[in-house]
Amino acid sequence: MTSPASPASSGREGRPRRRKPPRPVEVVSVSRIAPRLVSVWVGGDALEGFQLDAPTSHIKVYLPVPGQDAPVLPVDTPDGPAWPDGDAPRPAVRTYTPRRFDPASRTLEVQFLLHGAGPASEWAERAGVGDRLAVAGPGGRFMMDSSVEHWWIAGDESAIPAVGTLLEALPDTASAEVHLEVAGADDEIEFSSPAKTAITWHYRRAPDAWGAELDEAARSAAIADGGMVWVACEAAAMRAIRRYLLAGRRVPASSLVTRGYWRAGDANYPDHDYGEDDLPGR
Ligand SMILES: Cc1cc2nc3c(=O)[nH]c(=O)nc-3n(C[C@H](O)[C@H](O)[C@H](O)COP(=O)(O)OP(=O)(O)OC[C@H]3O[C@@H](n4cnc5c(N)ncnc54)[C@H](O)[C@@H]3O)c2cc1C
């Protein structure tokens, strides 16, 4: 006996989309990119066929709970993935950016911010080679429009991996003004991009003033006609920025990609908060 692992969802043309069960993987290397940003490469035969089609996509990471060597995973059934019956505690499942994938070695990089208390942050803090976990996806609806010439990009530490994928995917005809809000100078990392980039690091003005610096940057942003805006950070901060750009600056909704990556005080924040419920003009 099993129980469904996730509600059925609709694919294109209304057909139910067949979710695949998570792929079991093992940690193959761990390194610190910055004191609070851990790069974890995972690998395994189960990554055969994994593919990254668009920057800023997301995966689900399944982590064992304390006391387990490997997460309990949904199994494949004719109706889609389902949890096996039994008393074993289910894994902590969290949303992360697939930072890089190497099909030849079937290895995938995920970069975890060590933000403090939370199963994923705590797992990453002590991650070691051989640790077992699982990944599912990728998902996400962002499609890169290579004809866009100007990008205004803003994010906090949790969005650093996604910003990295976006900058690497921009064409050399594009320019990007990038604003990153972090706790302090230790959090700064290098990015590479074919595009012309101008990166500004903002240090959070108070430990819980999430997104205040990004909000201020948005208020003085020069957003070119036909340009695109991409913002990912704490959910309430994202909404304030989105609201301002739509109402205060008349940026068309079609030029805005905004995502709440986490919300202060909420564990396991959903992966599909685009802030579009907030205002008319979505
Ligand atoms: C599409 C998408 C892509 C993402 N990609 C990445 C990524 O590549 N790397 C990454 O590190 N994160 C990423 N995140 C954010 C990540 O999913 C959350 O930070 C998640 O809450 C971490 O899980 P946790 O178990 O550590 O904490 P949870 O159990 O979810 O939360 C515990 C507590 O920590 C707080 N918290 C959560 N995140 C933060 C934070 N960033 N800063 C301060 N407090 C926080 C919560 O509000 C809660 O009070 C992404 C989120 C989305 C939606």
Give the distance (Å) from ligand 1 centre to CA of residue 3: 27
Digit-coded pLDDT (tens) for 110-164: 999 999 999 999 999 999 999 999 999 999 989 999 999 999 999 999 999 999 9
> How many angstroms separate the CA atoms of 20 and 172, rounded?
35
Averaged pLDDT, 98-109: 98
Predicted model pTM: 0.94
Instruction: Examine residue 138 and say whether the peptide bond preceding it is cis (omega within 30 degrees of 0).
Output: yes
Query: Residue 280: CB within 6 Å of ligand 1?
Result: no
pLDDT given for residue 86 in this prediction: 83
* Alpha carbons 91 and 40: distance in angstroms, whole number: 18
Cα gap 133→131, rounded to integer Å = 7
Domains and CATH numbers, the chain: 2-139 (2.40.30.10), 150-262 (3.40.50.80)
Q: Burial-class residue 141 by CB neighbours within 10 Å (0-12, 13-18, 19+).
A: exposed
State whether the beta carbon of 58 lies less than 6 angstroms from ligand 1. yes
CA distance 68 to 123: 12
Say which residues have a Cβ less than 8 Å from residue 230's Cβ, sequence separation at least 6: 56, 151, 152, 153, 154, 166, 257, 258
Bridge partners of residue 84, in order along the sequence: 2
Alpha carbon dihedral 141, 143, 149, 151, in 10-degree steps, equals 30
In tens, the pLDDT along 32-76 reads 999 999 999 999 999 999 999 999 999 999 999 989 999 999 988
Q: Cβ(93)–Cβ(62) under 8 Å? A: yes
Q: Whose CA is nearest to atom 45 of ligand 1?
A: 115
Task: Specify the DSSP element, H or E, that contains 121.
Answer: helix 119-125
